[in-house]
């Protein structure tokens, strides 16, 4: 589990960094998808530590709900919704730089918050 956990955590941070790089290069579509991927990877890291299913989009929504229920932290859900908006933007490509930047910043806060949960496990 430790190897899988580390892989998910590292992937989340790498994808987030890539998202900011893609945005700086003007590619809002790829920046958006990297933001979504970063959030999904960190959620999977938490799910692995808890023994929760995490292999589908639907499972990730359940993971978010379980984390919110355990922590009482509603910002986790709100930030996940921002990540999901980035995922949608990958397909629709309607978000401008400002929209994508705000989404990536929320994903960074989500990842930071979820990492704290991993430290307490």
Per DSSP, helices labelled H in 25-96 are 28-50, 57-71, 74-92
Among 100, 102, 79, smallest CA distance to 33 is for 100
pLDDT tens-digit readout, 50-94 = 999 999 999 999 999 999 999 999 999 999 999 999 999 999 999
pLDDT of residue 1: 59
Higher pLDDT: 3 or 32? It is 32
Q: Cα 21 to the chain's mean position, in Å?
A: 16
Residue 37 has pLDDT above 80, yes or no: yes
Indicate the SS3 state at residue 45.
helix
Can you list the domains of the chain with their CATH numbers? 2-119 (1.20.120.330)
pLDDT number for residue 121: 65
Tell me 77's DSSP state. Answer: H
Is residue 113 a contact partner of residue 79, using CB atoms and an 8 Å limit? yes
């Amino acid at each position: 589990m430790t190897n899988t956990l580390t892989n998910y955590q590292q992937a989340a941070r790498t994808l987030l960094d890539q998202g900011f790089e893609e945005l700086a290069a003007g590619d809002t579509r790829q920046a958006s998808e990297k933001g979504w991927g970063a959030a999904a990877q960190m959620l999977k890291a938490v799910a692995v530590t808890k023994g929760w299913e995490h292999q589908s989009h639907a499972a990730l929504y359940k993971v978010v709900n379980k984390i919110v229920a355990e922590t009482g932290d509603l910002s986790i859900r709100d930030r996940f919704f921002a990540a999901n908006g980035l995922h949608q933007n990958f397909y629709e490509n309607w978000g401008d730089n400002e929209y994508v930047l705000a989404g990536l910043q929320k994903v960074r806060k989500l990842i930071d918050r979820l990492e704290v949960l991993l430290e307490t496990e």
